[in-house]
Amino acid sequence: MDKTYIDKPALVEIKSGKILVARSKKNPDTFYMPGGKHKPKDDGTMETDQECLVRENGEELNIKIKPKTIKFFGSFEAQAHGRSEGTIVRMNCYTAEYEGEPTADPQKSEIAEIAWLDYSGRDKVGLVAQYIFDDLKERGLLEGHIDGEEAFLEEARQRRPKESLEGINTNIDRR
């Protein structure tokens, strides 16, 4: 089967053992990681992940990401929620510092609601975000529990790239 890929940079923001997620007006049944799709720039080239992350989170969450603080967290992929079989979302995740407080303004953006979920909210997010939740829980960064979580966490360990990801958690709030 042919696969179609959707590349999306996303923000990983954790506070007090909970991760920031957003629900769009278009897909009200599921929360997603904040971020979006690349757009072409005025010169015809495509945005970088960092440029997209700054633009999308400014438009959708009303925050101003500080570009120099953006750090790669990890890459995850899975069947895209609500798309035909074989449509894969490939999410490059980043941490970053920002100005402002994340808020949803349904009158001005496609975001209907934001939420801070712990691991027990895993069933409220799309599959690729579930993989991110598993990874964060396995690293001890998300609070909360679900039945059968050990199997999910073992799968997270198996999915993790072999190369070292040491130091990527430096600006994630572990409170």
Q: What is the CATH number of the domain that holds 12?
A: 3.90.79.10
Q: Which amino acid is at 74?
A: G
pLDDT for the residue 175: 31
- pLDDT, one tens digit per residue, over 73-108 is 999 998 887 777 888 889 999 999 999 999 998 888
Enclosing domain of residue 106: 4-117
Q: Check whether 163 has a pLDDT greater than 70.
A: no
- Between 6-10, 17-21, 40-44, 146-150, the lowest mean confidence (pLDDT) is in 146-150
pTM of the predicted protein model: 0.84
Q: Check whether 173 has a pLDDT greater than 70.
A: no
Average pLDDT over residues 9-29: 93
- Between 12-16, 76-80, 126-130, the lowest mean confidence (pLDDT) is in 76-80
In a domain? residue 168: no
In a domain? residue 136: no
In a domain? residue 154: no
Query: What residues contact residue 45 under an 8 Å CB cut-off, 6+ apart?
Result: none
- Let me know: does 90 contact 6? Beta carbons within 8 Å: yes
In a domain? residue 162: no
- Rounded to whole angstroms, the Cα distance separating 27 from 43 reads 32
Per the listing, tokens 């603080």 go with 69
**Rg from Cα positions in the chain:** 16
- Rounded to whole angstroms, the Cα distance separating 170 from 175 reads 13
In a domain? residue 149: no
Query: How many domains are there within the chain?
Result: 1
In a domain? residue 122: no
- Rounded to whole angstroms, the Cα distance separating 130 from 143 reads 14
pLDDT for the residue 160: 65
- Let me know: does 36 contact 7? Beta carbons within 8 Å: no
pLDDT for the residue 172: 40
In a domain? residue 57: yes
- Between 24-28, 123-127, 165-169, the lowest mean confidence (pLDDT) is in 165-169
- Rounded to whole angstroms, the Cα distance separating 19 from 73 reads 14
User: How is residue 16 written in tokens?
Assistant: 């007090």
- Rounded to whole angstroms, the Cα distance separating 49 from 53 reads 6
Split at pLDDT 50, 70, 90, the class of 161 is low
User: How is residue 120 written in tokens?
Assistant: 């027990």
